[in-house]
A and B are shown apart, each in its own frame.
Chain A
Amino acid sequence: MHNKACSRDESSMTMNRTIETDSQEEFIEEIEKVKDVLPKRIDANPKNVEKGLAKLVLTLVELIRKLLEKQAMRRIEGGSLSEEEIEGIGETLMKLENKMKELKEIFGLKDEELNLNLGPLGDLM
């Protein structure tokens, strides 16, 4: 049995609002995660400008790397690549991924930090 949570606003609001769910805890957890998608803005100041710029540049590089990877997978899926070409693509993607790992380590950046909030368009990646 689920615990059904169904409530109306108890504040002085006027809209007779209902908030209803059978899975309160799970939704709270997911809302927390959505709230925590950072960064909302690029935080650049004299103390962290190097890291801020690195974050911006690496985010764009990561975006391009992911696009390349996606395009390569689509071509493989379409069956238009020979084994030699797949070998070449594999080597390139592997080197790119390793280089990104190195750069992220150097600037102390995590995967989830390499993103930009584009306001109404959502997150870049």
Chain B
Amino acid sequence: MVIYTYGVIDSKNIIDETIFGLEGGGINNVSYRDIGVAVSELRQKLQEITDANVLKHEEVIETLMTKFTVLPVRFSTIFNTKEDLLSMVEFYYQDFKDNFDRLHNKVEFGIKVIWLQDTIKQRIIDAYQKTKHNLSISSESPAKTFVKEKFEKHIIDKEFQEEADRCIAVVDDYFNKIATEKRLKKLQTESLLLNAAYLVEKDKQDDFKKAFEQLKNAPGDLKFLFSGPWPCYNFVALTRKPASVDYFNTEDMLGRLLAQQGLLKR
């Protein structure tokens, strides 16, 4: 038997609600001092990652969130013995306590933004050629021609990045005052202008949704994907972090949900 973990919770008490986890195992709390880890027993390490298993993991976390502050653990994290699990909790105890304080009564929302990168790039190229923000060197040698081409690309890329920063600032402005924390990923692909996660207090969820409605109805060519509320996957921060610990994140879960609906290739 191995111990499968779902999340760290801010309680040392027995979980009085019956919750079933992977393989139908009942969820128990393995406590350490005043906190605990929600676990269930598995016959062996998961042999394959299925959508059903991932969604079950998520479901358990969400059920736990109705009663506790939960630090979600990455899908498929197992421990061979209770002693191993407890030594991990002992190691991260202070980190977990700090995260409970930060994440108490909060949820995560995702905002993704696509922009018309081809149109924007073409506009920048046109402007570059008009203003002749050009390199004033003769290009009689291959080396100079090479530099000229690189320089043109450098200026265009720079403008593209600056334009992205300006657009992201406009989008972020809608949510900045509502969210308590944010994680912004810029231009993960040339089209995906922004991939953002916002941490929001539970009683401000409606304000966050309203802000999104306003943003969506504002004039412009941006396209949006709104998702949430999620458990705070992107906001668990460990200061003591060996390379082997990695946290499950919203991207994986959104991918699973889309795949489950046959929208994403696997």
Contact = CB atoms under 8 A, between A and B. Distances in A.
Chain A at the B interface: SS class: helix
B264 interface: yes
Given A15-B65, A73-B154, A76-B135, A94 B142 contact: yes
B258 to A, nearest CB: 6
B147 A30 contact: no
A31 interface: yes
B147 A31 contact: no
B227 A17 contact: yes
Chain B at the A interface: SS class: mixed
Interface string A84-100: 00111111011000000
B220 to A, nearest CB: 12
B58 interface: yes
Interface stretch (A32-40, A49-57, A101-109): A32-40
Contact of B143 (A12, A33, A94, A122): A94
A48 interface: no
B114 A27 contact: yes
B246 A30 contact: no
Interface stretch (B36-44, B173-181, B183-191): B183-191
B189 A33 contact: yes
B138 interface: yes
Interface centre among B228, B230, B231, B243 (most CB of A within 10 A): B228
A38 to B, nearest CB: 14
Interface in A16-68: 16-24, 26-28, 30-35, 37
Contacts of A73: 150-151, 154
B263 A87 contact: no
Interface string A2-21: 00000001011111111111
B226 to A, nearest CB: 5
A90 B154 contact: no
Contacts of B145: 90
Contacts of A26: 114, 191, 223
Contacts of B191: 26, 30
Given A19-B227, A28-B264, A32-B265, A14 B63 contact: yes
B171 interface: no
B225 A19 contact: yes
B165 interface: no
Interface stretch (B85-93, B97-105, B249-257): B249-257
A15 B66 CA distance: 9
Contact of B263 (A15, A28, A30): A28
18 contacts: A12-B59, A13-B55, A14-B63, A16-B229, A17-B230, A19-B226, A19-B257, A20-B227, A22-B216, A27-B223, A30-B191, A31-B258, A31-B264, A33-B189, A34-B195, A86-B147, A88-B143, A90-B145
Given A83-B138, A87-B143, 15 more contacts: A9-B257, A15-B62, A15-B65, A15-B231, A19-B225, A19-B254, A20-B224, A22-B223, A23-B224, A31-B264, A76-B135, A77-B155, A89-B147, A90-B142, A94-B142
Interface of A: 9, 11-24, 26-28, 30-35, 37, 69-70, 72-73, 76-77, 83, 86-91, 93-94, 119, 122
| 4 A-B pairs with least C-beta separation | A90-B143, A90-B147, A73-B154, A21-B225
